[in-house]
Amino acid sequence: MIKAMFKKRPVADNVVSVPANILFNLIFFVAAACCIYPFLLVISVSFSEMKSLSSGGYQLIPRVFTADAYKYVFAASSNIINAYGVTLVATAMGTFLHLAMVSMFSYPLSRPEFEFRGFYMKFLLIPMLFSGGMVPWYIVCTQFLKLGDTMGALIVPYAFSGWNAVMMNVFIRKNIPTEMIEAARMDGSSEFKTYLRIVLPLSKAGLAAIGYMVAIGYWNDWWLPTIFIRSQRLHNLQYMLYRIMAMTTVLSNMVRTGGNLSAAERMSQSIPQESLRMAMVVIAVGPIVFAYPFFQRQFVKGLVVGSLKG
């Protein structure tokens, strides 16, 4: 009886330590606040008057509320709405093309019975380790693919990634049973039909994780328009904002160097440079931030899948 009293009792799996739960929630709350606070500060500064920023510094709540920075951005570039459209089209089409190519390349490599699996793995890994350089890449894009000053120049160069193909290959191998593929073949399903009706629906989490990162890359890209685009109608949002910021920097430098620059000085003084920078951040990042909650569940699931076994 005494032994039974002091016998070690098994701890239930579903018992949650209240102090530990409170501690972890507190840590996550502090971490979330550290991430949210800078973005809220950026929004506040973008709506603040330059004089109040100079005298009182950055404040979470604007001392003097004004939308002059946003007015200047939209006045400095009358084509900014068109730039938004170009960015949206390039991001949507580029992300779709990237996911299609990566998934179609990864699915055959995930099947052990694929005869040329080793060859295509080497074909995939060699460009990941060695690069031909910028000049051959530019020649291929402009002379061979004829992408110069076209919408394709904003889409095709980023349409495939070896790293994402490797990630997708691992995801398919770990999450889609071979027995399911074999059962589909026994039922008379072709490889492409199996890919469309079985592989893609079961790969939503992995596709969402890769797709969100690819979409951010397309949305934030200003490098491709700088190299390939000459027509103003194909300038995307990031390149347009880059030009506005460069213009304001040139004007401020002209004032610092002196000389008979009264007109440039008046223009530079009328530009809310600090709030302008923050307004450009809000304009560029805002749509991606608002789109994240719609992809959060699949994005997190795609990142952690395969990390645990059970």
Task: Indicate whether 269 pLDDT > 60.
Answer: no
> How crowded is residue 168: how many other Cβ atoms within 10 Å of its Cβ?
26
For the chain, the structural domain boundaries read 19-66, 70-304
pLDDT tens digits for range 89-114:
999 999 999 999 999 999 988 888 88
Residue 309 pLDDT: 45
Mean pLDDT of 201-207: 87
d(CA 231, CA 169): 39
pLDDT digits (tens, 9 = 90+) for 156-199: 999 999 899 998 998 888 888 888 888 888 888 888 899 998 89
Q: Please tell me the pTM assigned to this model.
A: 0.76
**70-304 topology per CATH:** MetI-like fold (1.10.3720)
d(CA 22, CA 194): 47
Find, among 305, 280, 111, 293, the residue nearest to 203 by Cα. Answer: 305
Rounded percentage of the chain residues whose pLDDT exceeds 70: 81
> How far is residue 5 from each of residues 2, 11, 15, measured CA to CA in Å?
5, 16, 21
Q: Where are the beta strands (DSSP E) in 137-289?
A: none
